[in-house]
Structure 1
């Protein structure tokens, strides 16, 4: 596995055999929130403050708050027309439409086959990826039938974060990055320690850690470390060729030219 180091101060190319990468700072804006969750293709920013979810942009502002469920643990923007919110303290998932109106609420404590879940994200239609903390296993959950399909074997170490698209799910543990598909196959297990969070786009993986932000390219063994000075301590979001980092009340947008393949 090769590791390349890039500095954000200037844009430059790596003169390796086949791979190139350019990282440039685009802009920065003030944003005083508790969490930055991401930015969609329609340029709306999703953030939360005081347990309220905000969607702002295009001279519009939407908000959603569920007093009974408390703190928002995660917001999945995979489908901006149907967001997935996870309230870990109350073992509950809420689906919202693009105006942040509630579509459905799933309380896993009230199911006949009770589950304690640590993570929940969007999957294929009428399904969620969930990580069952009782069994330490990933599941594909149909929220209409309330039935689950177990994905893979139990994870032996602690799981720190989970992100997904419709067909694949990634788990960040204290030792590895796992990639599963909806058919139950473990596709990858990459050794990695010290990770804090994941961001996924087009099967490319971004991992934040105390030592920096790492980029794992789809179908490649190359790993790129982005040296971003003191900017890697906050929330990260990867979408296409844009990297957003929220830290210290500032949202910074970087342009990321992904490595070229031969």
Structure 2
């Protein structure tokens, strides 16, 4: 072997190392499209019609320009979670009273479901809108995922008992996603099929886009991750103006960053 060969191999090693570092630290540029101040306790996001949703003093609000709708229910205590997947059937979850309220697009009550009155014992700790007049339910009594038909008042269990504690969950019409305390990511479909989707990066906040992509924040930096990437450890940092933020929401390629009394909306296209 020539004397230049070891030096060439060294340079090749350095080049490959830089390539790996670059692939793990790609940047996604985000263009600011709007910015405004807001006085709320909890900013929830937007729907496809441009309405923003928020909670202030436990009053749920839907706002667009000067158009404001409100819903409050003092008797049910604090709103635990809101599901905005279907703007025509919004889900409000009141965990302390084991109750879900469904609202129409003007925030009129469609129905109120008290699971404590159900024939089959249900203690709901997680819930979200599913398909065909059903709600996703995680029943804390048996630690199983189920579906509740709110028109027929029927409940069925679809999953086996979950072993690990759920750290985060998110639902769409056909899928119940969750991340356990060990950062393992799973999905369950409406037929009860459970799929392991791999290990999630350590996060402060997270939002699942689909079964292979998610956004997450860590130490006030925001990242995009695609688990189908050829480099399984690669991620992309999203460049935003904020040095710190309380919450983020992503919908229809619009990234909303919520800081103390301010919202900035960015246009972003994930790779």
> Which TM class, normalised by the smaller chain length?
0.7 to 0.9
Give the Cα separation in 2 of the matches to 1:225 and 1:134.
40
CA distance in 2, matches of 1:105, 1:218: 39
* Contact 1:90–1:107 under 8 Å retained in 2: yes
Cα-to-partner distance string for 1:150-209 (whole Å, 9 max, x where unaligned)? 333322222133211111121132222222211211233322364454434455433345
Question: In terms of mean alpha carbon deviation, does 207-216 or 38-47 score higher?
Answer: 207-216
| Change in CA separation of 1:197 and 1:180 when aligned onto 2, cut-off 3 Å | farther
* 3-state SS in 2 of match to 1:258: coil
Match of 2:106 in 1: 99
- Picking from 36, 59, 65, the partner of 1:29 is 36
- TM-score, normalised relative to structure 2: 0.80
Structure number with higher relative contact order (C-alpha < 8 Å, ≥ 6 residues apart): 1
How far apart in 2 are the matches of 1:5 and 1:53?
A: 39
Is 1:5 matched up with 2:46? no
C-alpha root-mean-square deviation of aligned residues, in Å? 2.6
Aligned 8 A contact 1:172 1:195 in 2: no
Change in Cα spacing, 1:28 to 1:58, as seen in structure 2 (3 Å) is closer
Q: How many pairs align?
A: 245
Instruction: Give per-residue Cα distances to partners, 1:214-238, cap 9 Å, x unaligned.
Output: 4344855564344656434x23211
Larger fraction in strand: 1
Conserved 8 A contact 2:224-2:270 = no
Partner in structure 1 of residue 224 of structure 2: 215
d(CA) in 1 for partners of 2:224 and 2:158? 25
Q: Secondary structure at the match of 2:152?
A: coil
| Structure 2 gaps, min length 5 | 1-19
Name structure 1 gaps, 5 residues minimum: 7-13, 15-20
- Which of structure 1's runs of 4+ aligned residues deviate more than 3 A? 1-6, 193-198, 200-204, 207-214, 216-232
Alignment correspondent of 1:135: 142
